[in-house]
Amino acid sequence: MSMRFLHTMVRVKDLAASLRFYVELLGLEEIRRIEDEAGRFSLIFLACPDQHEVSLELTYNWDGDEGLPSDGRHFGHLAYEVDDIAALCQHLQDNGVVINRPPRDGRMAFVRSPDNISIELLQKGGAVAAVEPWASMPSVGHW
């Protein structure tokens, strides 16, 4: 029996904040949206620009989602490979995102989504020379 991975779903409390983070700051694209008037929820599918075959599904309940924990550490994480980890971290930090685990090794960083979903960023091709301010920046919080 063949099988294909399609998406990871995460629940979000604030859709605008989530789209700002995933689309505007990280660079994912919205590829599909379902608005369910009867169920009062939206499903928004996001994907990397050249990889629409796998996606991140955001579930947004219009009337809130009180069951969501404030800390998503137990979620594990989502991982993305990026062209320039130092430049992306600078872009994120310039826009108010805390770099919980700076890419001190030129290879790996962790940030959190607005719902505290842990996001791992990995330098494409492996470690590059570490650059400031990341090389000497301590980690903050957990991820």
Binding mask 30-59 for a copy of itself (x = CB under 8 A): -----------------xxxxx--x-xx-x
> What x-and-dash track marks residues 76-115 binding a copy of itself by CB under 8 A?
xxxxxxxxx--xx---------------------------
Q: How far apart are CA 72 and CA 96, in angstroms?
A: 19
1 binds a copy of itself (CB under 8 A): yes
Record the tokens describing residue 71, joined without a space: 């800390």
Let me know if 120 is a catalytic residue.
yes
Q: Give the contacts of 16 (CB within 8 A, at least 6 positions apart).
A: none
Q: Which string of b and e fits 26-43 if b means at least 16 CB within 10 Å?
A: bebeeeeeeeeeeeebbb
Residues annotated as part of the active site: 120
Can you give the binding site for a copy of itself, defined by CB under 8 A? 1-11, 26-28, 47-51, 54, 56-57, 59, 67-69, 72-84, 87-88, 120, 122, 124
